Amino acid sequence: MPVPCRSGCGRNAFMRRPKTGDVLCKDCFFLAFETEIHNTIQQEQLFRPGQKVAIAASGGKDSTVLAHVMNTLNTRYNYSLDLVLLSIDEGITGYRDDSLKTVAQNRDDYGMQLRVLSYQELYGWTMDRIVGEIGRSNNCTFCGVFRRQALDRGARLMEVDCVATGHNADDIAETVIMNILRGDTARLRRCCDIKTGSKEADTIPRVKPLKYSYEKEIVMYAHFKKLVYFSTECVFAPNAYRGHARAFLKDLEKVRPSAIMDIIHAGEQLQIKGTVMKPVRGVCGRCGFVSSQQPCKACVLLEGLNRGLPKLGIGKKSKGDRMVALQEQQLREKAHLVKNDF
């Protein structure tokens, strides 16, 4: 027996929303999904009229849906935003090179300017080469750190006012779980912020319009809208620590669908005791980009790669300092032996 749409539009329901449990027809689902994102943008005051906004585009479902919805809402509600696409090519053969074709399709579909920056161009390394040096145990650390800074570099080159990323509710809930398990109090509170950075702090702000959108609903929206996106998982991702948090969250969601939002709201309400030491965000003295340490993590990782010490930036700083000291001592001893030979 057909079930009527919960909105009262007179049409039969087509699906049940994973987030709310409401039974809706296809058109009402589209409207509800888009309206929730619009309300988030308005309530959190993510944008101002006339701003140039870079959409971090990877070609995946999240960034593809974000580009489509931002383009739709910009027209429907007259945001008066100048939307552009910013993509990062990590240099992963068979993955990123294919997904960038989807980004190019978004560029053509929405008439947005596209800028692609590569790790090779910015750092002189590709992820394929980095994995060859470090192995598959810590490769996501390099990729995540370099990618975050690459977005900052690209945003500065494009002279945008802010960067919109496709982080969804599942992503943020997973990050909360990861930071709890790691005891990372600094990132635990910050990961729930819908807007980070500011012009006053000399950093280009980043916003998360999809913060309260469930991953399942993003997939459903992309599927029913017939959006073209790249769905292949990164070849290096199966070993990522995040995968364990994701599996745990999916198990929770099966029992309690509201668990995703519950975890996010819990993270938003967390307060760190005043006696706890918290890193202060500033600017790296080497590269000039935002950092909570000197030098920044990207510079330390890059230095390790260039020195032939790929694990230099992995783990505690004291361990890295010992590795550098040992290498310098070995170089001095080698130079001394060469000098004695002559």
Domain that holds residue 323: 279-341
**Under 8 Å between Cβ of 37 and 237:** no
Claim to verify: residue 262 and residue 208 sit in the same structural domain: yes
pTM of the model: 0.89
pLDDT tens-digit series, residues 29-50: 999 999 999 999 999 999 999 9
Alpha helices in the chain (DSSP H): 26-44, 61-76, 96-110, 119-123, 127-134, 139-158, 169-182, 185-190, 215-224, 242-255, 259-269, 297-307, 317-341
**CA–CA gap between residue 196 and residue 201 (Å, rounded):** 10
**Would you say residue 6 lies in a domain?**
no
**Would you say residue 1 lies in a domain?**
no
Q: pLDDT at residue 231 above 80?
A: yes
**CA–CA gap between residue 161 and residue 54 (Å, rounded):** 8
Q: What is the pLDDT of residue 337?
A: 57
Claim to verify: residue 23 and residue 36 sit in the same structural domain: yes
Claim to verify: residue 63 and residue 195 sit in the same structural domain: yes
Claim to verify: residue 184 and residue 313 sit in the same structural domain: no
Claim to verify: residue 97 and residue 133 sit in the same structural domain: yes
Claim to verify: residue 113 and residue 134 sit in the same structural domain: yes
Number of domain units in the chain: 2
Helix axes 96-110, 61-76, angle to 10 degrees: 10
With H, G, I as helix, E, B as strand and everything else as coil, classify residue 175: helix
Q: pLDDT at residue 13 above 70?
A: yes
**Would you say residue 2 lies in a domain?**
no
Claim to verify: residue 197 and residue 80 sit in the same structural domain: yes
Claim to verify: residue 56 and residue 116 sit in the same structural domain: yes
Listed residues 253, 276, 299: the one ending a domain: 276
Q: What is the pLDDT of residue 135?
A: 85
**CA–CA gap between residue 143 and residue 119 (Å, rounded):** 9
Claim to verify: residue 261 and residue 290 sit in the same structural domain: no
**Would you say residue 20 lies in a domain?**
yes
**Under 8 Å between Cβ of 40 and 172:** no
**Under 8 Å between Cβ of 56 and 164:** yes
Using pLDDT thresholds of 50, 70 and 90, give the confidence band for residue 326. low
With H, G, I as helix, E, B as strand and everything else as coil, classify residue 206: strand
Claim to verify: residue 79 and residue 97 sit in the same structural domain: yes
